[in-house]
Amino acid sequence: MVRGAYIQRASADRMTVEDALKRYLAEVSPTKRPSSQNSDNKRSKILTEQLGKYSLAALTPEIIAKFREARLAGEDRKDAKGKPIPRANDTVRLDLALLGHLFTVAIKEWGIGLPSNPVMNIRRPAPGPGRNRRLSRDEEKRLLDSVDKHSNPMLRWIVRIALETGMRASEILTLRRMQVDLKRRIVRLLETKNTTPRTVPLSVTAVELFREAINHPVRPIDTDLIFYGEPGKDGKRRPYQFNPVWMKIKRKQGLADVRFHDLRHEAVSRFVEAGLSDQEVSAISGHKSMQMLKRYTHLRAEDLVDRLDQMSARK
């Protein structure tokens, strides 16, 4: 028993954070969703660069706390003048989440002899405030006019469908024709962020947008994706990567601070403003907790004024 504990401790002294991350990416990350795998790969590079040479046994809470503060201060990222660019709290929280899970797996599954997970003994940065970005009517008009004029009609369909349904970009881009039932006016999402399949009802406008996209006369026969890109080097078509042109259009319209995910916020808030209950909205959006749902439902004050006026008129 003592010899086994000694061997486990010795393995913790020998295995570096860099080695542990490589094993994690090979064994653990492939079990996650593609978006989570991409996040793991991205964050593992940061952790390897900053902490990779430490052995698992040598990485103490004090060292991790210094890493946290340096990341928050932006010491590893400078602007053109050499001034540090601070990192968002949520960015650093996700860095620490990966590091913490790495230690958990190493202790529980790999038999690495460590007395505790050092990440559990430091403070995490406070979660950032939920975004409260709503589109004004003028902003929406300018944005939609711009995407409507783009040469590839898929951009128009994607942006407008996001506003009509509240679906995430990843959910829209991976849609295949068999998932869209225009007759019943529903979309069946098989893979979602919270891993729970859901069925999204479609407005009349959303149905017409999907009908246009599915019946597009130049649709190739080699893909079932609704929003597809050009064939890759392997000859396979993957989802349409609209982000470069989306970013360009936003900047041109002076809306650089608008994120695509804000369209989901906008849609969910409009569902609430239309009078749908929390349960009805969550059934459409896929939010499991009412607390998280409320972060997405930012009602316009002017719309609430109208509601108050209506209440006064009834009295």
Q: Which residues are catalytic?
A: 168, 193, 261, 264, 287, 296
d(CA 167, CA 135): 17
Q: CA of 225: how far to CAs of 101, 176, 240, in Å?
A: 34, 4, 9
Residue 186, CB-side half-sphere exposure with 13 Å CA sphere = 9
d(CA 167, CA 209): 14
Q: Quick one: how far is CA 145 from the chain centroid?
A: 26
Question: What's the count of helices (H) and strands (E) in the chain, helices before strands?
Answer: 14, 3
Cβ count near 219 (within 10 Å) = 14
d(CA 185, CA 204): 8
Q: CA of 271: how far to CAs of 22, 266, 299, in Å?
A: 44, 9, 10
DSSP-derived secondary structure letter, 46: H
Dihedral sign for Cα 175, 178, 182, 188, please.
negative
